[in-house]
Amino acid sequence: MIEVSPPVLLTIASKTAVRLPSLIDIQDTFTRSSIEYWNLEDLNADPNKVGRSGSGTWVEGLTPTTQKKSCVFIEGDARQQAKLLLSKLIEKNLLSST
């Protein structure tokens, strides 16, 4: 059994390279799609139950954090990649080997 402590993101793909969308792909997304807007009347919503006045929780404060992001490509066949990934996750205490 493998146990993982959040936050964890694992991506498994058959392709060897990360594909980023082109500018044309991004532009097409916005030109082909329409955004529908709804207001309180459209939703028949009570103004006292939405927004700040209707919120059941309040944010006391925010503490900004910085996080170093990195990307590592693991070489080898599927078995070698799995072994190396598993050892790296255990090494960083993101997985328990028990």
Residue 81 pLDDT greater than 80, yes or no = yes
Band (11; pLDDT cuts 50, 70, 90): low
The arithmetic mean of pLDDT across residues 76-83, rounded, is 91
3-class SS of residue 2: coil
Q: Which residue has the tokens 């792909």?
A: 25
Rounded to whole angstroms, the Cα distance separating 92 from 98 reads 15
The string of DSSP codes covering 79-96 is: HHHHHHHHHHHHHTTSEE
The pLDDT tens digits for 19-55 are 777 888 878 877 877 777 888 899 898 888 888 878 7
Q: What average pLDDT is seen over the chain?
A: 80
Give residue 5's pLDDT.
Answer: 77
Give residue 80's pLDDT.
Answer: 92
